[in-house]
Structure 1
Amino acid sequence: MVGPGNGAFAVEESRVKKAVVLTVSGEVDMLTAPQLEEAIRTALDSRPAVLIVDLSKVEFLASAGMSVLVTAQAEAQPHTRLAVVAEGAATSRPIKLMGIDSVVPLFRDLDSALGE
């Protein structure tokens, strides 16, 4: 787990089938986005077939966090398929408003992300 001891932000890594899943919780802002970026880079180092960033437990997603997702998409290709799980006003809405869903594949839930 990556994150400060206060529980406001955390990233947990797990494996589901051939995918590495990063489950993110709390707030992703300019202070915590670098921790998310480091977790993604560490996961990509093992060149998984699929990397899923699950934002379903995120309460706030700032532009710094969205920037990390765009960078991750560029760094993942061509070896790893990146997918983002985001549903709701705190995550899906800002991602769609910024047009990031045209660059980074967005899914409603983990099962959908695994099934593509």
Structure 2
Amino acid sequence: MSVHDPEVVTTDGSGTGAVESGPAEHIDISAERVADGVTVVRVTGEVDMLTAPRLRSEVIERITTGGTLVLDLGGVGFLGSAGLAVLVEAAQRSTREQAAFRVVAVERAVLRPLAATGLGEVFSVHPSVAEALGGDRG
């Protein structure tokens, strides 16, 4: 196993240094407003300490007073503690904003950490976006 330092400076022998770019983030996030006040944020990839800050900014900014945010983690292959912290913060923010926060989780990689931490009982967890939306759509 090798570890890549994103701040490693390499030279080509000419005395000029170039900073290598770090490893690509293994996350894709898209958002869709499906109805007035209802947004679905879809996440694909790995939610770890490198990608969680991006997820946090995408999710927290979309929690609106009285609205509904569905976080679809159906494409997530890894959910680490930093990702769980984002979910907790989103749930707390939605409570303050009197908004609905729902999580879609179908993969073992997401369901297992939710169950192991007891957070599966804290969040409104659904097997599909359609079920998470319930009567909100339309």
- Report the TM-score when normalising by structure 1: 0.87
Letter in 2 for 1:86: A
2:72 aligned residue: 54
Q: Per residue, is there more helix in 1 or in 2?
A: 1
1:66 paired with 2:77, answer no
Q: Which has the higher contact order (CA 8 A, sep 6+)?
A: 1
Alignment of 1:1-116 (within 5 A): 6=24, 8-18=26-36, 19-44=38-63, 46-47=64-65, 49-77=67-95, 78-115=97-134
* Distance in 1 (alpha carbons) for counterparts of 2:25 and 2:89: 25
Shift of residue 88, structure 1, vs aligned partner: 2.1
Shift of residue 60, structure 1, vs aligned partner: 0.6
Cα deviation per residue 1:36-95 (whole Å; 9 max; x = unaligned)?
100012212x43621000000011100110111011000011421000000121111211
Letter in 2 for 1:23: R
Task: Assess if the C-alpha contact under 8 Å between 1:24 and 1:58 holds in 2.
Answer: yes
Unaligned runs of 5+ in 2: 1-23
Unaligned runs of 5+ in 1: 1-5
* Distance in 1 (alpha carbons) for counterparts of 2:92 and 2:51: 20
* Distance in 1 (alpha carbons) for counterparts of 2:35 and 2:109: 28
Q: CA RMSD in A?
A: 2.0
Shift of residue 8, structure 1, vs aligned partner: 2.1
- Report the TM-score when normalising by structure 2: 0.74
Task: Assess if the C-alpha contact under 8 Å between 1:21 and 1:52 holds in 2.
Answer: yes
* Distance in 1 (alpha carbons) for counterparts of 2:28 and 2:107: 19
Number of aligned pairs?
Answer: 112
Q: Which runs of 4+ in 1 moved over 6 A?
A: none
Shift of residue 22, structure 1, vs aligned partner: 0.5
